[in-house]
Amino acid sequence: MTSLRDSSPIDWLIACEEIRQLASRYAVAMNHRDLGSLVELFVEDVRVGRDLVGRTALHENLAAQLRDGHRTILQVSNHVIDIADADNATGVVGTRAEIERGDDWVIQVIEYHDTYQRRDGRWLFVRRRHHLWYGADMLQRPNHLPDANWPQSQTGRGVLPEIMPTWQAWQQSLGRGE
């Protein structure tokens, strides 16, 4: 099977760059609280939770999550993109977040697991899964935190890297796994 990278390296590079821009535009729109632009980065029929569909539902969901008015600074770091074909891709995006929470300033390290689709010539998010490495007041060390249970709490230890099959296998190889 010939991949897009093999059949058209320029198209592959353009797709990767457009998807990278998508993740960066998400961070900027979130930081600026530009929810109108933010929801336009998703497919029109985006699923929101189990029962809702569409950008209007996404807008309402995000507005409810952000209603306390706190500031955030999302900084996109590593981004691995796997192009399935000319219109479908997946990716993993590392992100560092700084979040105002009352008088506290919380640091989160996040990994988004994304599904992308190109519609009408434009790459969009189909789904973004937010996985937390950790969240803590910037003066705390993350390796001794209690569980965050995100999204209920923005502080505490997250599910990464323990949910990753490769991490589990590595731990088992060291005699530490279940």
What does 50-77 look like in DSSP terms, one character per residue? TTEESHHHHHHHHHHHTTT---EEEEEE
pLDDT at 5 over 70: no
CATH architecture of 4-173: Roll (3.10)
pLDDT digits (tens, 9 = 90+) for 104-125: 889 999 999 999 999 999 999 9
**Where do we find the tokens 């979040």?**
99
**Where do we find the tokens 């490769």?**
166
pLDDT digits (tens, 9 = 90+) for 47-70: 999 999 999 999 999 999 888 878
Indicate yes or no: pTM above 0.95. no
Provide the token pair at 82.
Answer: 């796997």
Q: How confident is the model at residue 138 (pLDDT cuts 50, 70, 90)?
A: confident
- Show Cβ contacts of residue 84 under 8 Å, excluding neighbours closer than 6 positions: 90
The conformation of residue 135, written as its DSSP 8-state character, comes to E
